[in-house]
Chain A
Amino acid sequence: MSKVMVVTSGKGGVGKTTSSAALGAALAQAGQNVVLVDFDVGLRNLDLILGAERRVVFDLVNVVQGDAKLPQALIRDKRVETLHLLPASQTRDKDALTPEGVERVIGELRERFDWIVCDSPAGIEKGATLAMRHADLAVVVANPEVSSVRDSDRIIGMLDSKTRRAEAGEKMEKHLLLTRYDAGRASRGEMMKVEDVLEILAIPLLGVVSESPDVLTASNLGFPVTLHNPAAPAARAYSVAAKKLLGEEVRAEPAAKRGLMSRLFGRRAAA
C-alpha cells in the first residue's frame, strides 16, 4: 500500500527540503522503497541536498507534460538503493504543472513506491496546492516562532479543505515537525515552547529537531543529515520521526541540551 506524504509549511526557509530529504532517507534506510518528489519548480533544491545535482537530465515538468517517461527522470541514490529522486525543473515555473499531469504522475509513482514524499514549495499558491493535492498524510514543518506557526496554521486549514481526501470527506492525517528548536532559548522565554506551538496548531507531534550545525554541514555536502551523521541529535530526531510514520511505537527523545551531569562527565572523559 503506497503512501503519498506532503512536507509543507506555508512559510519559506523553515526546513521543508531538509526534512523531506532526511525523512525520505530514513524511510529508505528502514527498507522502504521511497521517492522524493521536488515540487519547487523554478527553485529546485532537493537535488543539491541529495548530492544528485549533476545527474539531473529530465525532471518533473518533463514527465508531467509527457516529454519524458517516468523511469527516465527518476534518479536512484548511490548510497541508499531504495531512495529515489524525481527532481524539479530549475528553468520553468509552477504554471508548467497541470493538475491532470500531476495526478497521472502520482498515480504512476504509487505503482512503483511505498512512499512518495512530496517536497512542497513555500507559499499557498498553485505549487503548494498541487503538492498537497493527492497526499494521504502531511508533515507540517514549523519553527518555534509566531509567523511560522501562523502560516502553518493556514496550511493546515488548506490541508483540511483543498486536498483530494478532504474533498472526499476523508480524514487528512497531519503531523507536526518542529525544527530549529533551541531548548535553552525556549526555557529562557526567547523562543516559543513546544507546548505553545502544539496548543495553537492542535495536531500530533511527530518530532522536534534541534537547531544544529550538523544539518547545514550535511546539506552542503549533498547528504541528508540521517545519512551523513546518524548519531547527530538532529539525525536521530528524523529517524525516530520516520519510525513513527512507519507505525512503530517510539518514545520521543527529549530535545533538551546536555544536562549538568553529562556536561561534567563528558568533559572529563574527553580530557
Chain B
Amino acid sequence: MPLPLQALRNSPPPIVHVRGRSFMALALAPEPPLAAWFVELDEHLAGAAGLFTNRPMVVDLSLAAAEGRDAVLILLDGLESRGFRIIGLEGASPGLLEHTHWERLPTQLYGREAPTPVNAAPPRIGGELIEGPVRSGQSVVCEAGDVTIVGAVASGAEVIAGGSIHIYGALRGRAIAGIREGAQARIFCSRMEAEMVGVDRLYRTAENWGAQLHGRAVQVRSDRGALRISALD
C-alpha cells in the first residue's frame, strides 16, 4: 500500500546515506609469458619510481588465467610486493581463487570501458592530438588534459577532455570539456554543428542555441555558472 504523503513528510530523516562515488584506479592486464611481462613491468617502474606505489589497482586476469592457478597466485603476490594495492579483479573464472586470501576481492566491477584509441596516437603528456576525423560511435576520452583534433567530429561521436577541446574542423557530435580543469576549460571549433556541448557540468543541446551560430567558428565556455557560446569570426 502506498504511504500517504503526510506520513512520508513526517518520517525522520535517514541516518545512513548511501552515495555513489567514482575513483580513478589503474587497470593492468598481465599477459603470458608472465616472466617476460614482469621484466617489462619492472623496467616501467624503474622509469617512474614511486608513481605506482599505493595506487589502487584492478587486475584483469583474463589473459593470465590460462597459465593456471599457481601462476596467477604468484602474479598477484608479485604485484603486491611491488607496492600495488589490488582492489579488484576482472576476468577471473569463479573457482580460480577459491580458498586464497584473494577470494574476498570484488570481481564484479562496473566502470566505463577504456576509450577506443582513434588512429592510435600515443598519449602525449598533458593532452592528446588526434589526426583525421573522429567517426560516429567513436569516443575520445583524455582526462589528463587538452584534446586537439585536426579534422571533424562526426554526429554520434564524442570527445571528453580533462581540459579544453580544440577542433580544427566541424563539430557535429558531442564535446565535453573541463572534466578535471573545471570552469576554466573551453571548447573551440572552426565549425559549430554540434549535438551537445558541455563545460564543467554545464551542458546544452543543439536546440538551445540559435541558428545564427550554426556553421560558424565558436568558443564555448563557462561564465559565472552559465554556458556561453560565442562566435569567433
**Main SS class of interface, B:** loop
**A202 beta carbon closer than 8 Å to chain B:** yes
User: Is B56 interfacial (CB-CB < 8 Å)?
Assistant: no
Name 13 interchain pairs, CB-CB below 8 A, sorted by A.
A146-B155, A150-B155, A150-B156, A153-B135, A153-B136, A154-B156, A156-B135, A157-B137, A157-B138, A200-B155, A202-B132, A202-B151, A202-B152
Q: Is B100 an interface residue (CB 8 A)?
A: no
Contact with B along A146-163 (1 / 0, CB 8 A): 100011011011101100
Please, which residues of chain B bring their CB within 8 A of the CB of A146?
155
B116 — which chain A residues lie within 8 A by C-beta? 161
Count of residues in B whose CB is under 8 Å from the partner chain: 16
Interface residues on chain A, size class: 10 to 19
8 A Cβ contacts from B130-160 to A: 132-133, 135-138, 151-152, 154-156
B137, A154: Cβ atoms under 8 Å?
A: yes
Interchain CA distance A160-B117 in the complex, whole Å: 11
Q: How far is the CA of A157 from the CA of B119 in the complex (A)?
A: 10
| A202 & B136 in contact (Cβ 8 Å cutoff) | no
Dominant SS among interface residues on chain A = helix
Chain B residues in the interface with A (C-beta under 8 A):
116, 119-120, 132-133, 135-138, 151-152, 154-156, 170, 172
- Cα(A200)–Cα(B172), bound, Å: 9
Known A-B contacts A160-B119, A161-B116, A200-B172; A154 and B135 likewise in contact (beta carbons under 8 Å): yes
Q: How many angstroms between the C-alpha atoms of A169 and B122 in the bound complex?
A: 14
Query: Which chain A positions have C-beta within 8 A of B132?
Result: 202
Interfacial residues, chain A to chain B (CB-CB below 8 A)? 124, 146, 150-151, 153-154, 156-158, 160-161, 169, 199-200, 202
* B156 surroundings in chain A (CB, below 8 A): 150, 153-154
CB distance from A245 to the nearest CB of B (A): 23
Residue in contact with B135 in the complex, picked from A160, A169, A199, CB distance below 8 Å: A160
Residues of A within 8 A of B135 (CB): 153-154, 156-157, 160
Known: A160-B119, A161-B116, A200-B172. A153 touches B155 (CB 8 A): yes
Interface contact A153-B119, CB-CB below 8 Å: no
